[in-house]
Amino acid sequence: MDNRLCQEGYSRKTWNATGVTATILLSLGNRPVGGKKKMQQSVAFHDPNALVQTEWLAAHLDDPELRILDCTTHLRPAQPGTKAPYMIVSGRADYDAAHVPGAGFLDLQGELSDNSVKLRFMLPRAEDFAAAMSRHGVGDGSRIVLYSAGGIMWATRVWWMLREFGFTNAAILDGGWEKWKAEDRPVSSEPCRYAPAVFSARPGAGLFVGKDRVRAAIEDPETVTVNALPPGFHSGKGGRYGRPGRIPGSVNVPYEALIDSQTRTLAPLAQASAKFTAAGVDKSKNVICYCGGGIAATLDLFVLHQLGYRNLSVYDASMSEWATDESLPIETD
């Protein structure tokens, strides 16, 4: 293999299948995000197939089993007089104006959340999730690439839900819509033409937890709870979701600290690893991530997954529930 590829951030992997040893390039267009940095500064991706680069996607737009899905959602200021922390606006209008050629659109709140409850963005029933995926042409043999505008956390939320329902052949587009556009790659306003498929949901991964599990974790030395919100919310200076503050004992690794502010791609894994280590997030522990509504926390979880952490879960209702429930303890600086 050309050593120049390693110098640009690709890595070698040797595997053995039925007695044949081969060296492959990891993988399907993936590379460590800090690809131009020195290799000794990089950390290997635990699951490189879960992250694709724009150049790989551009070269595979016509793959018959590939399903590209735009997950864009916007949070706007809440209407005056309401108690809601924000107003949810679907990214459908953005998608209709321009999207990655061939992509479909997922309405995260409208079709991929439980709309029978007051809390927003809650995990839907398995059968409802399966029906939505099937409508969008996702079958059990599909390969999915998820992207979003305004931050990749909307894509990582869908990626985490897919894993909860037993589907692991999905990837995040590194840098999302912003990087795709910045590179002047092709866009389309044509509607999606994916034929309906059959998606089989296999729930039970345990990647989503409720307030009882989080409350028990406060006194559990084997569990660390991570707040993905900005430092001001963690310290108690902001009260967007109700009572200001954080879940007692939780540590703060803001989701924005895991993104390169210029390119909007993932920050180098070595940098992310240092941040989690400094916060006391150890691989030997169970890790529960939370935020305002279970969205940004999935970005922390995606990075932790890439760092090789195993016992990971998201507090689905997050501070949207915790901060408004007076029976639950809260902590400030």
- For the chain, the structural domain boundaries read 61-182, 208-322
- 52 with 145: CB under 8 angstroms? yes
What's the average model confidence in pLDDT over 112-128? 92
Strands 51-52 and 286-290: unpaired
pLDDT tens-place string over residues 223-276:
999 999 999 999 999 778 999 999 999 999 999 999 999 999 999 999 999 999
pLDDT tens-place string over residues 284-316:
999 999 999 999 999 999 999 999 999 999 999
Which regions of 101-240 does DSSP assign to beta strands (E)?
A: 104-105, 143-147, 170-173, 208-209, 223-227
Question: Which CATH fold would you assign to the domain 208-322?
Answer: Oxidized Rhodanese; domain 1 (3.40.250)
Query: Between 153-164 and 296-306, two packed helices, what is the crossing angle to 10 degrees?
Result: 70
61-182 is classed CATH 3.40.250.10:
yes
What is the sign of the dihedral through the CA atoms of 33, 34, 39 and 45?
A: negative
Q: Rounded to 5 degrees, what are φ and ψ at 314?
A: -115, 140
Do 61-182 and 208-322 agree at the fold level?
yes
- 254 with 228: CB under 8 angstroms? yes
* Token pair in block for residue 176: 């999302």
Task: Output the pTM of the full model.
Answer: 0.87
Q: Rounded to 5 degrees, what are φ and ψ at 97?
A: -75, -40
Check residue 112 and report its DSSP letter. Answer: S
Which residues are CB-neighbours of 269 under 8 A, at least 6 positions away? 32, 33, 34, 42, 43, 44, 45, 303, 306, 307
| pLDDT score, position 11 | 34
Band (pLDDT 50/70/90 cuts) for residue 41 is low
> Can you give the length of the chain in residues?
333
- For 87, the enclosing helix (H) or strand (E) is strand 87-90
Distance separating alpha carbons of residues 66 and 295, to the nearest angstrom: 25
pLDDT tens-place string over residues 194-231:
999 999 999 988 999 999 999 999 999 999 999 999 99
* Residue 332 scores a pLDDT above 80: yes
The CA–CA distances, whole Å, from 88 to 77, 110, 178, 235 equal 9, 10, 20, 25
Distance separating alpha carbons of residues 134 and 262, to the nearest angstrom: 36
Determine the 3-state secondary structure of 147 from DSSP.
strand
- 255 with 291: CB under 8 angstroms? yes
pLDDT tens-place string over residues 136-153:
999 999 999 999 999 999
End-to-end CA, the chain: 53
Band (pLDDT 50/70/90 cuts) for residue 10 is very low
Residue 203's identity, in one-letter code, is P
Q: Work out the burial of residue 67: count CB atoms within 10 Å of its CB; fewer than 13 is exposed, 13-18 middle, 19 or more buried.
A: buried
Q: What residues are paired with 144 via a beta bridge?
A: 67, 170
